[in-house]
Amino acid sequence: MVSGTAIGSIYGVLLNLATRGGPRLGAPIGAIHGLILSATIATLEVFGTRTRVGRAVEQAPFLVTLLVKGLVYGSLIALVNVAEPGTRLFRLPVDAGSVQLVSVFFSFGVIWAVLFIIQISQIIGGRTLRNWVLGRYHRPRQEERFFLFVDIVGSTALAERVGPVAVHSFLNRVFVLASDPVEDHRGEIYQYVGDEMVITWSIAAGVREARPIHCFLAIEATLDAASVDFVRDFGLAPRVRGALHVGHVVVGEVGAQKRDIVFHGDVMNTTSRLEQMARELDRRLVVSADALDRLSGPHHVDLEDLGAQTLRGRASPLRIYASPRRRD
C-alpha cells in the first residue's frame, strides 16, 4: 500500500506536468488513486486468497491465475481511472479521453508486473525471492534458526490404498491449508520433502509468542476443521506430527542453472531424528530443551519431560520434551 501510494503520487505529478505544464495537485490525487487501488488489491491478496474461490484461482495454472487476477484488478484500475475520485475530491474538472486512456494503460502495466512478481514469489517463497534479489546470501553466512519438521501421518498407507495420483492430491491439499498458519506465524516454508514440510524461523521471529509451537497447533486446528472434506474425498482425515529444534546453520546460495538458498548444519539432522522419535513414540510433537528454553510466552501445550535422550548420529544426549501419546 505504501508503494502503491508512492507510485501513484509520482505518476500523478508526471501526468500533470505532461498534460497541464505543472504538477498542480497531481501528487495528492495520484496518491489517493494509488492508495485505493493498492489497498483493494492487498485486501484481495491477503484475505481473498483464503476463500474457496480464491484458493481455486491460486491453484490454477500459472498463466490462468495471472489472467484472472489481471482481469479482476484491471477492472478495478479502469473504474478508478474513469471515476477519478481524487480529482473529484479536489473539485477539479475530470479529463476524459486520451489522459484517462494513458492512465489505464500505465496502471495495467504496473499491475501486470506486480502480479508476475507475486506469483513468482509464491513459487519460490516471498522471503527467498527478496533475499535472492538483495543478494543477502550470495556469500554464505551463519545464522541461528528454529526448524519445525511437520510430517503427515498415514500417507504411505493411503498411497497403497488409493494410488499415487490421489495421494498427491491429498498431500497438496494438506500443504495448501497449512500454508496460511505458517504465514500467520511469520514462518518460512523451506521445502517439501515427500509427505513432510520443513518450516523455519529466524531467532528474532521465532521467539516471540512461541510462534513455532503455536504454528504447529494452528496447522492441526486447520486440518481438523477440514477433516470432513478429507474423509469424503479420500476416506482419511489428515493428522500431523512435528519436531522442533534450534541451532546454528550456514545459509547460502547454491547451484548454477537452478539456484537455491539452502541451509546446512547439524540442526537439520537433529530435527529429523526428533521427528523419527515422534513417530516411534506416537507423539504429536517433540521439542528439544534448547528450543523450548529459547521461546518466550506461553505455548499452550502439555509437554512431558522425557529427559536426556541419545539420538542416532549424535555423540552427546539431548534433553527432550514431548506431547502426550495420541488417543484415537
pLDDT value for 269: 92
Dump pLDDT digits (tens) for 45-77.
888 888 888 888 888 888 888 888 888 888 888
pLDDT value for 126: 72
Q: What is the mean pLDDT of residues 13-20?
A: 77
pLDDT value for 22: 60
Which uninterrupted H or E stretch holds 110? helix 98-124
Same domain, 31 and 178: no
pLDDT value for 326: 60
Q: Is residue 47 part of a domain?
A: yes
User: The C-alpha cell of 84 is what?
Assistant: 477519478
Residue 213 · residue 321 · CB < 8 Å:
no
Dump pLDDT digits (tens) for 202-256.
999 999 999 999 999 999 999 999 999 999 999 889 999 999 999 999 999 888 7
Same domain, 87 and 184: no
Of 124, 157, 191, the domain-final residue: 124
| Residues paired with 200 in a beta bridge | 147, 188
Report the SS3 class of residue 22: coil
List the domain range (segments joined by +) for residue 48.
2-124
Same domain, 167 and 257: yes
Report the SS3 class of residue 56: helix
Question: Measured between alpha carbons, how far is 28 from 10 in angstroms, rounded to an integer?
Answer: 9
Report the SS3 class of residue 225: helix
Residue 216: phi and psi, rounded to 5, are -60, -45
Dump pLDDT digits (tens) for 255-273.
877 778 889 999 999 999 9
Same domain, 46 and 86: yes
Length of the chain, please? 328
Q: Is it the case that residue 304 has pLDDT exceeding 80?
A: yes
Q: Is residue 129 part of a domain?
A: no
Same domain, 169 and 311: yes
DSSP state letters, 284-316: SEEEEHHHHHH--S------EEEEEE--TT-SS
Same domain, 141 and 189: yes
Q: What is the mean pLDDT of residues 22-49?
A: 85
pTM over 0.85: no
Same domain, 228 and 107: no
Same domain, 167 and 108: no
| More confident of the two residues 259 and 146 | 146
Q: Is residue 100 part of a domain?
A: yes
Dump pLDDT digits (tens) for 74-124.
888 888 888 888 888 888 777 666 767 777 787 778 778 888 887 777 776
Same domain, 184 and 294: yes
CATH of the domain at 174: 3.30.70.1230
Q: Is it the case that residue 327 has pLDDT exceeding 60?
A: no
Q: Is residue 141 part of a domain?
A: yes
Dump pLDDT digits (tens) for 152-199.
998 878 878 888 889 999 999 999 999 999 999 999 999 999 899 999
Buried b (16+ CB within 10 A) or exposed e, 61-86: eeeebbeebbebbbebbeebbeebeb
Percent helix, strand, coil in the chain, to 5, is 60, 20, 20
pLDDT value for 253: 86
Same domain, 59 and 196: no
Domain count, the chain: 2
In eight-state DSSP terms, residue 317 is -
Residue 175 burial (CB count, 10 A): 17
Same domain, 149 and 103: no
Residue 304: phi and psi, rounded to 5, are -95, 135
Q: Is it the case that residue 20 has pLDDT exceeding 70?
A: no
Of 104, 124, 144, the domain-final residue: 124
Of 98, 124, 150, the domain-final residue: 124
Cβ-proximal residues to 92 (8 Å cutoff; 6+ apart), any chain: 25, 29
Question: Measured between alpha carbons, how far is 124 from 116 in angstroms, rounded to an integer?
Answer: 13
CA 9 vs. chain centroid, Å, equals: 30
Strand pairing of 239-254 and 285-288? parallel
Q: Is it the case that residue 27 has pLDDT exceeding 60?
A: yes
Same domain, 94 and 163: no
Q: Is it the case that residue 319 has pLDDT exceeding 80?
A: yes
Residue 295: phi and psi, rounded to 5, are -75, 145
Q: Report the amino acid identity of residue 202.
A: S
